[in-house]
Structure 1
């Protein structure tokens, strides 16, 4: 099993983190986005969108971080991480949607501005970031994990871009519950950190 990634991609880190936390064996292959390796013919055969991460499992190719999580969880029967029971499954899916929505257009977009020079409306990305972080902080009151009483794929889906939010000038200081939750994830066996960039509030 091979994971194609880029160290500064939060999407790629999300997939790598899930593989590592669950103990699944894989080879890590770096794709140099700055050199345009993700747009080469060979890579486009793996993912026509020209994006990382991509998981290659023999003749099975799975692009997209959340799709990779689903594939790995189902292949290895990781029910605790990605439950099939309807209520719990719906709860995890809700947070997948947040990761692909408000998180993507909030903390992730704000970080894209400072790290990669993306042309986003900075005020809008910061407002979106703080709106979703406030809601997540409230959700964590009185609980250790986003869904249920143990870590799940929902926590993994949210971690990378929340932990790196200060790089996009998103201050986590007001969010005590989130900060404690980040520490709990970072204490899990198999945790791998997201590569830091000294920009924004992290400079």
Structure 2
């Protein structure tokens, strides 16, 4: 962390649900950037995310959200962008040129689109009983993974010769896809990519549900 981006002693407060991949991608970024943080686990089943105090931090009542030195911010991809802009190396994580920046943004859109409607949605069904089409979500996951498997066949990272926000935003729900009934066995390149992320200094994992893995 550069002196220009140095922070005071107050940690970032991360409001989360511990088994949310959206929350985990933020926690992973905090850990990789070595930013001091504390977690606040919200009892979402009892409506903690709709309490007036929390809605002042996250107006849509969503997790994750952070508070950082007077800054309140929600939406996981927005938080990732904020963290690398304020405390990290923006060119390293967001892209060093217009092409890289656009490619990173493309994968952030995939994280909010195909990943959310594929492996994330499948996992919502098995872990939380969400009223979603499980078979359709699994099919979307496999369609995405087939594309990613080809993409990663001859490269280590999604965009560049180093990890970027694209990799961090994609990791959590893909790593936990088996919890949603989506096997990663047919995808050796994806599994190798996940292992590379897990080997990064500072990596922190998300709680697993072994009975569903």
**TM-score by shorter chain over 0.5:** yes
1:127 aligns with 2:139: yes
Question: Greater CA deviation, 72-81 or 140-149?
Answer: 72-81
8 Å CA contact retained: 1:168, 1:199: no
- Segments of 5+ residues of structure 1 without an aligned counterpart are none
Question: Greater CA deviation, 52-61 or 88-97?
Answer: 52-61
Deviation string, structure 1 residues 98-156 (Cα, Å, up to 9, x no partner): 10000000000000000110011111111101000111111101111111101111100
Which residue is equivalent to 2:86?
75
Inter-partner Cα distance in structure 2 for 1:51 and 1:18: 19
Which residue is equivalent to 1:155?
167
Which residue is equivalent to 1:32?
43
- Segments of 5+ residues of structure 2 without an aligned counterpart are 1-11
Q: Which runs of 4+ in 1 moved over 2 A?
A: none
1:140 aligns with 2:183: no
Aligned-residue offset at 1:69:
0.5
Inter-partner Cα distance in structure 2 for 1:84 and 1:133: 26
8 Å CA contact retained: 2:33, 2:88: no
Deviation string, structure 1 residues 39-79 (Cα, Å, up to 9, x no partner): 11111111111111001112211101100001111112422
Which residue is equivalent to 2:74?
63
Structural mapping, 1:173-184, within 5 Å: 173-184=185-196
1:54 aligns with 2:60: no
Which residue is equivalent to 2:97?
85
Aligned-residue offset at 1:26:
1.7
Which residue is equivalent to 1:96?
108
8 Å CA contact retained: 2:33, 2:87: no
Over the aligned positions, Cα root-mean-square deviation in angstroms equals: 1.1
Inter-partner Cα distance in structure 1 for 2:26 and 2:48: 19
User: Closer, same or farther in 2 for the Cα pair 1:50/1:76, shift >3 Å?
Assistant: same
1:41 aligns with 2:52: yes
Question: Greater CA deviation, 164-173 or 30-39?
Answer: 30-39
Which residue is equivalent to 2:24?
13
Which residue is equivalent to 1:185?
197
Aligned-residue offset at 1:83:
2.2
Question: Greater CA deviation, 113-122 or 22-31?
Answer: 22-31
Inter-partner Cα distance in structure 1 for 2:62 and 2:210: 24
Which residue is equivalent to 1:166?
178
Aligned-residue offset at 1:198:
3.2
